[in-house]
Amino acid sequence: MEKYKNKYRIPSARLPYWDYGQNASYFVTICTKNREHFLGEIFDGKMELSEIGKMAEKYWLEIPYHFPFVKLDAFVIMPNHVHGIIIIDNPDNGSNVVETQNIASLQNIASLPQRQLPPKNRFGPQLENLASIIRGYKIGVTKHARIIHPNFAWQSRYYDHIIRDEKSYHQISTYIANNPSKWQDDKFYA
């Protein structure tokens, strides 16, 4: 394990040399701290949002207002996590994306190059990338959720997956849509 400032730290889960501000579709999972059920409960295979869960849904849908280069696709709020597809579609970015016509909404599928030079910052510009989108979302929800429950918190990290083809996109979209009905089989079930 690496040390930074004489402390051990967990290596980044981000793909090295991928610019996370690049146009692409990203599947993300954001968990609550200790996977506590702050966001609601599943009853008969359907998600019943708590007050904090409703807030999490509202702020998710508002992401494009704060980040106009973002489009949202399938998402679900679960008792202790959020799954969603975030599409970065910035017309100012160079394209390393394959457009697909078979998906209902405009969908950017990442086409990973064989070799890519690293950007100046390892993960791309920090104001218009996936990390800044997730950070803004988590801050917005946390700020208001702590009025309801002072101990509300997110896990410090999040999971992401760069969607590379239509097959992967369809598998992920189906997984998101079916997540509430398969809650007891979910790895986040607790």
pLDDT of residue 5 exceeding 70, the answer is no
Confidence of residue 100 (pLDDT cuts 50, 70, 90): very low
Q: Do the beta carbons of residue 142 and residue 151 sit within 8 Å?
A: no
Residue ranges per structural domain of the chain: 19-112+122-181
Confidence of residue 51 (pLDDT cuts 50, 70, 90): very high
Residue 136, burial from CB neighbour count under 10 angstroms (0-12, 13-18, 19+):
middle
User: Angle CA(130)–CA(94)–CA(70) in degrees, nearest 5?
Assistant: 35
pLDDT of residue 121 exceeding 60, the answer is no
Range name among 10-14, 66-70, 149-153, 155-159 with the lowest pLDDT average: 10-14
The 10s digit of each residue's pLDDT in 22-38 is 899 999 999 999 999 99
Confidence of residue 16 (pLDDT cuts 50, 70, 90): low
Domain 19-112+122-181: which CATH class?
A: alpha beta
Q: Do the beta carbons of residue 38 and residue 32 sit within 8 Å?
A: yes
Range name among 8-12, 58-62, 71-75 with the lowest pLDDT average: 8-12
Average pLDDT of the residues in 85-104: 63
Model pTM? Answer: 0.77
Confidence of residue 12 (pLDDT cuts 50, 70, 90): low
Determine which helix (DSSP H) or strand (DSSP E) holds 167, and give its type and residue range. helix 166-178
Range name among 7-11, 47-51, 167-171, 176-180 with the lowest pLDDT average: 7-11
Q: Do the beta carbons of residue 40 and residue 48 sit within 8 Å?
A: yes
Average pLDDT of the residues in 181-188: 74
